[in-house]
């Protein structure tokens, strides 16, 4: 919305009054003249915040010079030491050590050569064994702990003797366990408690001693029956596989035989036809040719 003339003039007067007040407050002249001294309107140096730098004295300058010299000397000495550390230190002591090492190595080589010669001389002096003696030594039989001849070069422990009488058939073991259980039940039912307890204690001790000796005690009915069932399944599976194998072999055999007979027949027919064609060419009357 544009301003009206009266309102605009009023605003201009307010601004003019403000600037006039500022000019009067700071005593700014209204026109440029030669009589005016402009330095009167400037601030003095004493009132200003800036101060001149203090001049360095001779003592301070000397101290600074000495400090710089010390720094330079330290730098030079450190460079010299670093360079000296890099260079190999070769002197009389190091040369002596090297010569000593060389002499020791030389003497060791001489000793080794002498030992080799002595060993060679001894080997030449010793009589070589005959082939017959070697064969005799190798032919000597060796016996194990059981008194049997061992043909292997490996000698096992003497105590490692196979145990005899250990049953492995699950059916026999199951039958044995069932019989023992039956006997124990009969003893219990007959009323012979002392004998029953004695037999039971004896069986327990036998079982414990066998376990301590490292033998496997196979008297668990569940495990034995499971083992028998597993064995039956294995036998049935192997029977089935064997039947399949036999059937497959028979099938392949028949196929090969059939192919062979067909090939033979084809060869014979081919030979016969060739012969008939030759005869027909010669003038022989052959039906079909």
134: pLDDT confidence band, cut at 50, 70 and 90?
A: low
Q: Is 128 helix (H, G, I), strand (E, B) or coil?
A: coil
**Segment 144-194, tens digit of pLDDT:** 666 666 666 555 554 555 555 567 788 888 888 888 888 888 888 888 888
CA distance 264 to 255: 14
Overall size of the chain counted in residues: 289
Closest among 188, 186, 189, 212 to 204, alpha carbons compared:
212
Looking at residue 223, its pLDDT comes to 86
CA distance 130 to 81: 75
57 against 203, higher pLDDT: 203
Looking at residue 151, its pLDDT comes to 63
**Segment 65-107, tens digit of pLDDT:** 888 888 888 888 887 777 666 555 555 567 788 888 888 888 8
What number is the average pLDDT over the span 99-120? 86
Backbone angles phi, psi at 286, to 5 degrees: -125, 125
Closest among 278, 277, 270 to 288, alpha carbons compared:
277
Two tokens at 282? 């010669």
Looking at residue 161, its pLDDT comes to 52
Looking at residue 47, its pLDDT comes to 46
235: pLDDT confidence band, cut at 50, 70 and 90?
A: very high
**Segment 27-45, tens digit of pLDDT:** 666 655 555 555 555 555 5
Burial zone of 184 (CB within 10 Å; 0-12 exposed, 13-18 middle, 19+ buried) = middle
CA distance 234 to 223: 16
In the chain, where the domains are located: 169-219, 220-288
Q: In angstroms, what CA-CA distances link 95 with 92, 102, 105, 106?
A: 5, 11, 16, 17
Q: Which residues pair with 30 in a beta bridge?
A: none
Kindly state the DSSP code that residue 237 receives in the 8-state scheme. H
What number is the average pLDDT over the span 211-231? 85
Closest among 142, 148, 169, 181 to 231, alpha carbons compared:
169
């Amino acid at each position: 919305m544009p301003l009206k003339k009266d309102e605009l003039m009023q605003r201009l007067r307010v601004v003019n009054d403000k600037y006039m007040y500022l000019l009067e407050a700071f005593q700014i002249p209204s026109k440029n003249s030669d009589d005016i001294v402009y330095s009167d309107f400037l601030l003095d140096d004493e009132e200003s915040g800036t101060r001149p730098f203090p001049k360095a004295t001779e003592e301070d300058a000397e101290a600074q010079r000495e400090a710089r010299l010390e720094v330079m000397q330290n730098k030079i000495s450190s460079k010299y030491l670093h360079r000296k550390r890099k260079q190999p230190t070769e002197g009389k002591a190091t040369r002596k050590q090297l010569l000593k090492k060389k002499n020791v190595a030389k003497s060791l080589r001489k000793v080794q050569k002498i030992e080799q010669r002595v060993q060679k001389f001894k080997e030449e002096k010793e009589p070589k064994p005959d082939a017959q003696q070697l064969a005799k030594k190798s032919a000597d039989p060796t016996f194990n702990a059981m008194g049997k001849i061992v043909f292997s070069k490996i000698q096992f422990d003497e105590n490692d003797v196979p145990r005899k009488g250990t049953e492995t058939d699950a059916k026999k073991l199951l039958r044995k366990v069932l019989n023992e259980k039956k006997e124990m039940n009969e003893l219990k039912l007959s009323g012979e408690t002392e004998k029953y307890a004695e037999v039971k204690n004896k069986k327990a001790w036998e079982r414990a001693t066998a376990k301590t000796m490292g033998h496997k005690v196979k008297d668990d009915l569940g495990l034995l029956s499971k083992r028998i069932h597993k064995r039956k399944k294995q036998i049935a599976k192997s029977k089935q596989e064997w039947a399949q194998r036999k059937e497959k072999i028979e099938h392949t055999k028949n196929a090969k035989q059939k192919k062979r007979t067909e090939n033979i027949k084809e060869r014979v027919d081919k030979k016969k036809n060739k012969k008939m064609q030759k005869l027909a060419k010669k003038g022989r009357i052959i039906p079909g040719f």
